[in-house]
């Protein structure tokens, strides 16, 4: 692990690591973009209002009537679709866990300056929409098309570049059957902040791939180099890239902190005796195969419930007989690729893919 260069007492530069107190800029982002309250992990489906939220620029308020999706570029048959056109197509409803690639960023030392997530940048909604692959088929991708660029209606400046929010997928990635254009969340039209009227949903990938307020899909014949694709969302050791791109969600588990919280510190207080520890585990690299709970450093297997879906978190539980005193609870999951959550996180410059085993300090009385 390389030790990053830290500057103190200078104006905040996004992406720069810091050990200073939370900055005004981070507070501003934290107020706009909220976590899922961690106790909502007890629900299989996260109510829309409790689902985490991340908006880079401003929420665009779009009209369902005048909204159109253009599918063009390197295609033989460009399409222009209304919301009614999409709703008339075959519909699929699926529970999908979304997690922000920056989840856990604020726990890193030093802290990369950006949205300062602790652990709650995750949620699982039931999304309804229509699969993308048949639409690509209808549009007739040119034989030299290599990627599809998905562009949202929101615009802003990041890293000095003024752009619409846009991300790409390779043709092969975009053709996966689970990739959808979704127009409903938990049975209701998408709320404005979650992409009304239509967003892309890329199950198994970190959230940045699921472009909200989608207005255009363009087939391109060379790799897309937009900011959100080529600069942001990379595993880097310093400001100069390129580094590996962030894509699928790394295996992670979280528990509902037991007992009751202290208001200010959120430290937990639990009564002695049997305590049911529960939580969720998920991965974009395969099924969850094992969850372990660590009590003061001793790891024990948790019970796994049946999976909720191929791209949704899985419930787990374990009974802990709590004895009076101070305790540290942790949890970690392993997926079918063999990946296991680390006990300590390897630092990276943008604070991406932090899946360190959660730590919950508990006082048993
Ligand atoms: N158009 C657009 N799409 C976007 C974003 C955005 O700012 N603009 N944020 C992305 C990121 S980084 C994440 S983590 C998810 C968050 O989705 P949610 O707010 O519905 O939870 O949306 C992604 N799609
Ligand atoms: Mo994100």
Q: Is 41 in the pocket of ligand 1 (CB under 6 A)?
A: no
Q: Residue 18: pLDDT band by 50, 70, 90 thresholds?
A: confident
**DSSP class of residue 306?**
P
| Residue with CA nearest ligand 1 atom 16 | 54
Output the pLDDT for position 7.
47
* Topology of the domain comprising 252-364: Immunoglobulin-like (2.60.40)
pLDDT score of 16: 79
- 35 falls in which pLDDT band (50, 70, 90)? very high
Q: Is the pLDDT of residue 3 over 60?
A: no
Average pLDDT for the chain: 95
Q: Give the mutation target among 56, 199, 214, 233 for probing the ligand 1 site: most ligand atoms within 8 A of CB.
A: 56
Q: Is 54 exposed, middle or buried (0-12, 13-18, 19+ CB in 10 A)?
A: buried
Beta strands 161-170 and 147-158, pairing class: antiparallel
Strand 325-335 relative to strand 288-295: parallel, antiparallel, unpaired? antiparallel
Quick: pLDDT tens for 71-85.
Answer: 999 999 999 999 999
Confidence of residue 15 (pLDDT cuts 50, 70, 90): confident
Distance CA 5, CA 347 (A): 13
Domain ranges of the chain: 17-245, 252-364
CATH architecture assignment, domain 17-245: Alpha-Beta Complex (3.90)
Distance of CA 316 to the CA centre of its chain: 20
Q: Is the CB of 194 under 6 A from ligand 1?
A: yes
pLDDT of residue 20: 85
Q: Quickly state the pLDDT bin for 239 (edges 50, 70, 90).
A: confident
pLDDT at 13 over 90: no
By the 8 A CB rule, do 313 and 281 touch?
yes
pLDDT on residue 12? 56
Residue 5, pLDDT > 70, answer: no
* Residues 41-50: tens digit of each pLDDT: 999 999 999 9
Closest residue by CA, ligand 1 atom 2: 212
Confidence tier at 154 by pLDDT (50, 70, 90): very high
Which residues are within 5 Å of ligand 2 (an ion), measured at CB? 54, 100, 207-208
Residue of 32, 35, 54 to test ligand 1 pocket, by largest number of atoms within 8 Å of CB: 54
Element (H, E) at 122: strand 122-131
56 Cβ inside 6 Å of ligand 1: yes
232, two tokens? 């942001």
pLDDT for residue 8 is more than 70: no
pLDDT band for 2, please (50, 70, 90 cuts).
very low
| Per-position b or e across 107-118, b if 16+ CB within 10 A of its CB | bbebbbbbbbbe
**pLDDT, tens digit, 9 for 90 and up, residues 306-334:** 999 999 999 999 999 999 999 999 999 99
Query: Is residue 241's pLDDT more than 80?
Result: no
- From residue 309, how far is each of 32, 94, 335, 336 by CA, in Å? 30, 8, 14, 15
Residue 207: CB within 6 Å of ligand 1?
yes
Of 47, 150, 198, 208, best ligand 1 pocket probe by most atoms within 8 Å of the beta carbon:
208
pLDDT in tens, 261-314: 999 999 999 999 999 999 999 999 999 999 999 999 999 999 999 999 999 999
């Amino acid at each position: 692990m390389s030790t990053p260069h830290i500057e103190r007492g200078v104006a905040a530069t996004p992406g720069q690591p810091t050990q200073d107190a939370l900055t005004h800029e981070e507070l501003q982002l934290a107020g706009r973009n909220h976590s899922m309250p961690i106790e909502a992990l007890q629900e299989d489906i996260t109510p829309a209002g409790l689902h985490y939220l991340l908006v880079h620029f401003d929420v665009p308020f779009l009209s369902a009537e005048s909204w159109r999706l253009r599918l063009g570029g390197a295609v033989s048959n460009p399409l222009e679709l209304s919301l009614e056109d999409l709703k008339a197509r075959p519909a699929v409803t699926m529970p999908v866990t979304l997690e922000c690639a920056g989840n856990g960023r604020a726990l890193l030392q030093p802290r990369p300056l950006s949205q300062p997530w602790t652990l709650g940048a995750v949620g699982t909604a039931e999304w309804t929409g229509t699969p993308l692959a048949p639409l690509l088929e209808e549009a007739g991708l040119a034989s030299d098309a290599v990627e599809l660029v998905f562009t949202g209606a929101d615009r802003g400046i990041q890293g000095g570049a003024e752009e619409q929010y846009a991300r790409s997928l390779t043709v092969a990635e975009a053709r996966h059957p689970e990739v959808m254009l979704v127009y409903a969340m938990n049975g209701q039209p998408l709320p404005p902040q979650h992409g009304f009227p239509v967003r892309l949903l890329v199950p198994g990938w970190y959230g940045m791939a699921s472009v909200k307020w989608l207005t255009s899909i363009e087939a391109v014949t060379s790799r897309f180099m937009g900011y959100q694709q080529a600069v942001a969302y990379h595993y880097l050791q310093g400001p100069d890239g390129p580094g590996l791109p962030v894509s699928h969600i790394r295996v992670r588990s979280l528990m509902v902190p037991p007992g009751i919280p202290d208001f200010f510190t959120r430290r937990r207080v639990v009564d002695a005796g049997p305590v049911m520890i529960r939580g969720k585990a998920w991965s974009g690299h395969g099924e969850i195969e094992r969850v372990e709970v660590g009590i003061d450093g001793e790891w024990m297997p948790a019970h796994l419930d049946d999976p909720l879906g191929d791209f949704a978190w899985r419930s787990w539980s374990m009974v802990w007989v709590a004895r009076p005193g101070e305790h540290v609870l942790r949890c970690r999951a392993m997926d079918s690729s063999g990946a296991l959550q680390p006990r300590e996180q390897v630092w990276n410059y943008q604070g991406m893919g932090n899946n360190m085993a959660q730590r919950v300090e508990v006082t048993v009385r």
